[in-house]
Structure 1
């Protein structure tokens, strides 16, 4: 009889403690892993442009394609297949490419080829002067530099508050400021997760704000 009582007490204890432990575990996970680190506090907004496209109030994947788009056509294909297709339906998400003015015809040809294999209607493009591109890129404060064509294989995640997001250095991994669009495995295994984290972060913040409004 006494043994049965001990077993009953043990089972009840487990049923009470396990949910509490699980809650604490996941709560800790949200605090420690639920935010994508800020790498640069203030990124320069895009200058006035004919497309009327800006960074503020959007989660932006920003790339710099340069003046020779043949060098980055594969990059655009990779981004379209791995990132754009997955997130383009989110209203606060944009795929935004910065190019030197004068590359419009090259871009039109590349987009015709890209459209032949999938939907591309929500890509955004901004054409700027070399000086404007250089100044805006330098505001990212990243280790990479633009090449002579004013392009780079790296693409960057910029949040609604004009902050560059990425990954801080860990014991064996270097800090990640941008994502090399030529590396499909990096886009698939890392960038997708990071965009998901940022979208979830904003979703949680919105839910929390709505809860406060109801009080």
Structure 2
């Protein structure tokens, strides 16, 4: 009996612990929609020189403001905790909406990230202050941009340009509302945002699997 107890402690319990943590903590089978159909991005100069479109992409979007190099640690956290994990998904992108005139700030941030990360799916669009504010207002969020047109939060948009987040009761029965994820906190990105990204990607995998089954059945 003692022999079996030792085997359980050494082999079974670590596996159970791994499966528990791998499933994440988000109680939602589907990540709630907070705002439907935010505006498409206004046309503007982009860092890559290519047009950025939100439709049909899972987008992590942010508003770094005028002092992004000062806050470059936020970009590092996002790169390490979220971008590197999901950049290989075909329909995934990170987009930052920055004020015109911050191109040099962007260059400095990218120069620090490029040696450690492939930023092919990480882009910036440069807009006038009024355009940034109007676009941000279409999210209909509780949070506001600061005087530099920035916020440390990033947000998840689905392929229909819906803002996704947390709304409802958590596992403890406490009402929860989360519209953005604070890039200052590596722990919040690692625990809450990563968990929510898993949920939304699982949604699309399931939808694709159902679509493929329908096509397969129709061809029989």
TM-score of the alignment, normalized to the shorter chain, above 0.5: yes
More moved, 42-51 vs 149-158? 42-51
Aligned residues: 184
Aligned to 1:175, what secondary structure does the other structure show?
A: strand
Unaligned runs of at least 5 residues, structure 1: 1-31
- Larger helix percent: 1
Report the equivalent of 2:129: 130
Report the equivalent of 1:95: 94
1:49 positional shift: 2.7
- Does the Cα contact within 8 Å between 2:65 and 2:148 map onto a contact in 1? yes
Report the equivalent of 1:174: 176
1:173 positional shift: 4.7
Aligned to 1:118, what secondary structure does the other structure show?
A: coil
TM-score by length of 1: 0.82
2:83 pairs with 1:81: no
2:210 paired residue among 208, 211, 214: 208
1:102 positional shift: 1.1
Give the whole-Å Cα distance in 2 for the aligned partners of 1:55 and 1:119.
20
2:61 pairs with 1:62: yes
Report the equivalent of 1:184: 186
1:38 positional shift: 0.5
Unaligned runs of at least 5 residues, structure 2: 1-26
Give the whole-Å Cα distance in 2 for the aligned partners of 1:193 and 1:35.
12
TM-score by length of 2: 0.80
Give the whole-Å Cα distance in 2 for the aligned partners of 1:194 and 1:65.
22
Alpha carbons of structure 1 residues 71 and 140: separation in structure 2 relative to 1, 3 Å: farther
- Does the Cα contact within 8 Å between 1:169 and 1:176 map onto a contact in 2? no
Report the equivalent of 2:32: 37
Give the whole-Å Cα distance in 1 for the aligned partners of 2:176 and 2:196.
16
RMSD: 1.4
1:198 paired residue among 194, 197, 200: 200
- Larger strand percent: 2
Q: Which has the larger radius of gyration?
A: 1
Aligned to 2:97, what secondary structure does the other structure show?
A: strand
